[in-house]
Amino acid sequence: MVNNTINNELERNTLALLSETKRLVDQHFEDRKNRGEDFNIFYIMGMESNETKTHSNMLAALLNPKGNHYQQSSFLKLFLEEINYDYSNEDLNQVSINVEHHLGRITEDYLEGGFIDILISFPSGKAIAIENKIYAGDQPKQLYRYSQYKKGCCELYYLNLFGSQPSKDSLYTLTNEDFKIITYKNQIIDWLEKCLVSIDQTIILGASIKQYLILIKYLTNSMDNELKQKLNDIILNNLEEAKYISSNYQIIVDAVKERFRNAVHQKLDKALTSRFKVRLGNDTSFSFSQIWIDVIINDKLIQFGIESFSGHGHLQGRLFVGIIDKDIEPNYLKETDERLNNGWQIIRSIKTINKNYLNLSDSKTLTKLAKDENYFEETVSTTVNQSLDFISTYEVYLKELCINN
């Protein structure tokens, strides 16, 4: 009887917490709409999660004391203070900022080489190396390799959205004492807001920083201070209920995504002939989560794939089907397709039954997949059918290519 009473009270409080949170979230989206923040140049160009071209380049441009923001070292000074870096006795106006600083070819044992995303070099010879992560996973021994740069004279920072730890594979022999974690949600947002306060916000520079700040708040699910404080108060008044919601949220979301991935895998496996081997790649706890489709064409292994079922990764998390093979030149692209990178030579975005891009990071899509069985089956079928169409389209081309080579 006592347990039932406790459970009923917990349920009532949880429902009240969710109701109040929904009201604030709805207000947040309405305010954003009224301020015109949904019309963002980064969204429009489809570059909101591009680590190098968007984020590393934007951060570096603001940090550069010789940049065309003409604020000299003021932005750099604010950043160094934000990350608690001691820059005393340094002439900040003489600091150099490099994006994708090349350390040489990555060796076979992964102990040397690669590209440091953002390198801040001081006149004294000291440096800061920043590894910048939005959705991409870590490379083998990545942070270890970067830690070898100017041993003892370079501080290593791991920048990501929420404060995730680097993988053990990336660290290799490094410990937590060898690097520091900084986040977009905390340090970068706070820094950008301080940059805005330090300038005339009516000039184009202010508008550009605002656009980027809005993007970061979108990626980190951040609210304006007033609404954030109200949300904090609601959570503080319902800590027990919030704890249960928090501990189960990611488990539930990953379960919906994984059920969808498994259903697509099973349907593809049934649809394709025995020549094809359909296998699961990384699960949805990884940024890059896939289904692989292997086939031998004229004695050459060709790998088709569907990525990413996590809702993260390339193309801002959109699901796509493609061919991953560095030896294939994308000379046979259809109008609906594109080249993504040196690995994904030819890809095609998967679309919903309403002809929108399918993205498993979208909460409305996940809710429908979880609650509407007809929608779930229709989305599985349309994903499979589009993938089969892509495979049949390029199978003829690949046969010709393999014969010619």
Within a domain: 307: yes
Residues 146 and 114 in one domain: yes
What's the pTM value of the predicted model, to 2 decimals? 0.68
Domain range for 86 is: 41-229
What's the pLDDT score for residue 5?
54
Residues 190 and 332 in one domain: no
Within a domain: 141: yes
Within a domain: 3: no
Residues 211 and 256 in one domain: no
Q: SS3 letters for the chain?
A: CHHHHHHHHHHHHHHHHHHHHHHHHHHHHHHHHHCCCCCCHHHHCCCCCCHHHHHHHHHHHHHCCCCCCCCCCHHHHHHHHHCCCCCCCCCHHHCEEEEEEECCCCCCCCCCCCEEEEEEECCCCCEEEEEECCCCCCCCCHHHHHHCCCCCCEEEEEEECCCCCCCHHHHCCCCHHHCEEEEHHHHHHHHHHHHHHCCCCCCHHHHHHHHHHHHHHHHCCCCCHHHHHHHHHHHHCCHHHHHHHHHHHHHHHHHHHHHHHHHHHHHHHHHCCCCEEEEECCCCCCCCCEEEEEEEECCEEEEEEEECCCCCCCHHHECEEEEECCCCCCCCCCCCCECCCCCEEEEEECECCCCCECECCCHHHHHHHHHCHHHHHHHHHHHHHHHHHHHHHHHHHHHHHHHHC
Residues 64 and 195 in one domain: yes
Residues 291 and 199 in one domain: no
Within a domain: 234: no
Mean pLDDT for each consecutive 10-residue tract of the chain (405 residues)? Answer: 54 70 72 72 73 91 96 97 95 96 92 94 96 83 93 93 89 94 95 94 89 88 72 75 77 93 96 91 90 85 91 84 76 75 85 89 90 95 95 77 50
Strand partners, 278: 293
Structural domain ending residue among the three candidates 229, 264, 282: 229
What burial class does residue 348 get, using C-beta atoms within 10 Å of its C-beta: 0-12 exposed, 13-18 middle, 19+ buried?
buried
What's the pLDDT score for residue 82?
96
Residues 180 and 70 in one domain: yes
Residues 173 and 261 in one domain: no
Residues 206 and 66 in one domain: yes
Residues 49 and 180 in one domain: yes
Within a domain: 331: yes
Residues 207 and 82 in one domain: yes
Residues 109 and 220 in one domain: yes
Residues 275 and 219 in one domain: no
Structural domain count, the chain: 2
